[in-house]
Copies of this chain bind each other. A is one copy, B any other.
Amino acid sequence: MNIDIERLKKNIIKIGSIGRDDTGGISRLAFSEEYNKAAEELKRLFEDNGLKTKIDPIGNVIGSREGDKDLPSIMIGSHLDTVKNGGLYDGALGIFAGLECISTLNDKDIKTNHPIKLVAFNAEEGSEMGGTFGSRVFIGTQYLKEEKLENKLTNYGLSMNDLKESTINSEDVKLFLELHIEQGGYLEQNNIKIGVVNGIAGITRYSINIKGEANHAGTTPMDLRKDALTMAADLLLKIDHISKSIGSPFVSTVGQLSIKPGAVNVIPGEVEFVLEMRDMDRKNIDYLMDEIIKYTNTMDEFQFKFDLLIDKPNVNTDPHITNVIAEICRNKRIEFDIMASGAGHDAKEMAAKVPIGMIFVPSKGGISHSPLEFTSWEDIENGTEVLLETILNLDDL
């Protein structure tokens, strides 16, 4: 079924003008004035398309289209907030692709068995309350565990009661679908148009501390040194080598590293860095850590300390939904691949309570969180039509 790409384009550009700065980037940070303005504008747009719409106390925008039967709803959505100086597509695309599906159903006067709900989440990008705040509260997970949450909420004019009022009954939801840009270069590099997501990677982070011996950089011969930075460099290459050998979708990254004492004329006595690992398979993360520990155990001249910082398990998408999406691509002769998501998404939070499916469209150069973020209108049209077919297919009784 054909969607109207020109209408979709108009809508996404309209909301994209809110929070746009001189560099062409968009800053629509969670709970900001720009976010609230965009949410109000989106509410009007939802209503113009016949959706009964409300903005919940924490800023999620929810539009509802009635179904023929009294059934749990098919839910579609993504997030409306952006990072600072972000792009047009990350988050917003999933909302407007969903809206376009609904508009197309309206145009063709198609009724579905299930109600359809379209959600624009707030605060998916990192904030004081952590990422995917809007969807976590919405589906009712995690947020009550955070001890200091109440103080943080106050900063945003929110109460614990607002959170309760923003939480839905998950039994009212049949499934959740999210279309999102890939934010990586895999689809583009391989000339694939649709990524059918089979899961969202788990994230494990360790702080790794290496103690050697600080000493005078002029008077300590090379062979008497216990240079913690040289040891760290060796370990970083080892980690890179093992990570590559594990293969995709496993990734590991060291993005922060500090040296003590950190003077140009003192041999580093201590180095600390954060190792982040992501994969669909926990075994690979454990394998890398085991290999690191085995290797460092052979380095008698240094002391190593490993502290677990974060350990979020991976999440699987619903196999039936995944198969449906793949089958639609096959029928439409669209190049697709089954792939994992390395990034977290609202769908990952929704998966705690309801079956989820995710559709990725290509990101030019793999770039996101930047004004340079780009997905072609052709790729967006493809993705939106796959989303629409998926909704119709899953609307079975």
Instruction: Report which A residues bind B (CB closer than 8 A).
Output: 182-186, 189, 201, 203, 205, 215-224, 227, 229-230, 232-234, 236-237, 240, 243-244, 248-257, 259, 261-268, 274, 276, 278, 341-344, 366-369
Contact = CB atoms under 8 A, between A and B. Distances in A.
A217 B259 contact: no
23 contacts: A183-B219, A184-B216, A203-B218, A217-B255, A217-B278, A217-B342, A218-B251, A218-B278, A219-B366, A220-B366, A224-B366, A227-B253, A229-B236, A229-B254, A253-B266, A253-B267, A254-B268, A255-B263, A255-B268, A256-B262, A256-B264, A264-B276, A265-B276
B201 A342 contact: no
A203 B252 CA distance: 37
B343 A218 contact: yes
B255 A257 contact: no
A185 to B, nearest CB: 5
Contacts of A262: 255-256
A342 B184 contact: no
Given A183-B218, A256-B263, 18 more contacts: A182-B219, A184-B221, A215-B366, A217-B276, A219-B341, A219-B342, A220-B251, A222-B243, A222-B248, A222-B252, A227-B253, A229-B257, A233-B233, A233-B237, A233-B240, A253-B266, A255-B265, A256-B264
A268 B248 CA distance: 19
A292 to B, nearest CB: 14
Contact of A218 (B266, B344, B367): B344
B264 A205 contact: yes
A376 to B, nearest CB: 18
Contacts of A183: 216, 218-219
Contacts of A224: 184-186, 189, 366
Among the interface residues A219, A248, A276, which one has the most CB atoms of the partner chain B within 10 A? A219
A84 to B, nearest CB: 12
In order of increasing CB-CB distance, the 7 nearest A-B pairs are A184-B219, A218-B342, A217-B253, A233-B233, A233-B236, A218-B343, A219-B342
